[in-house]
Structure 1
């Protein structure tokens, strides 16, 4: 995923809908399920622990030095993707997956 235009630090890059998934509804173990690959942490609030994001967010790659971060969105059940620093047009958009990776980062 690349930026089509530039973004200033703190600027909203995208607001994406989220499907909220309570921890109690997740299969155990998660390994081998669709949740294992697409589940994002949402909050500590019981019944709202995890989410699957819509929009283009799930196409962003991981980076230990990301240029965007995820925040609780401006609307209920949304993520706000916010620029951490200046992002130039054509630059890849990345966020820190903040979990044990199932792949070797390059």
Structure 2
């Protein structure tokens, strides 16, 4: 499930991103997508590829990783994100939910740290 007014386009500085043509209310589910769960051993291999930047730590103990299907891998990072992601480990799903009103034409962003207001520096900022 994904809101019908979303679209992917290039951004000025982050490659592709997810945008909305219509406003989105705070607290609205923007997208639900299944995931492919992989083991810790598989993550070691994925960490040697470009896919490293598109997988999520998975499980209560974060020993696995997951590749989200749908558009979830295309949402860009922001420390002041307008949405956040949630994981359902039992059912194997991820959800994107708005944390504030999102205006028409605005890019939808998530904080890759997991909490929309977590300011911890990310791995790609050290590159």
Fold equivalence (TM over 0.5) = yes
Equivalent position SS for 1:85: coil
Partner of 1:101: 123
C-alpha separation in 2, matches of 1:12 and 1:51: 20
1:68 aligns with 2:83: yes
Partner of 1:38: 54
**Residues 85 and 39 of structure 1: is their aligned pair in 2 closer, same or farther, counting only changes over 3 Å?**
same
Number of matched pairs: 101
C-alpha separation in 1, matches of 2:56 and 2:79: 17
Per the TM alignment, residue 43 of structure 1 is displaced from its structure 2 partner at its CA by 2.1
Runs of 4+ in 1 over 3 A off after TM superposition: none
| Larger strand share, 1 or 2 | 2
How is 1:48-63 mapped onto 2 (pairs within 5 angstroms)?
49-63=64-78
Question: What TM-score, normalized by structure 1, do the two folds share?
Answer: 0.78
Per the TM alignment, residue 88 of structure 1 is displaced from its structure 2 partner at its CA by 1.1
Q: For the Cα contact (< 8 Å) 1:22–1:46, is it kept in 2?
A: no
How is 1:5-16 mapped onto 2 (pairs within 5 angstroms)?
5-16=22-33
Equivalent position SS for 1:16: strand
Q: Deviation per CA, 1:47-83, whole angstroms, max 9, x where unpaired?
A: 7x3211111111111100001111125x821111000
Partner of 2:15: none
Question: What TM-score, normalized by structure 2, do the two folds share?
Answer: 0.67
C-alpha separation in 2, matches of 1:28 and 1:13: 31
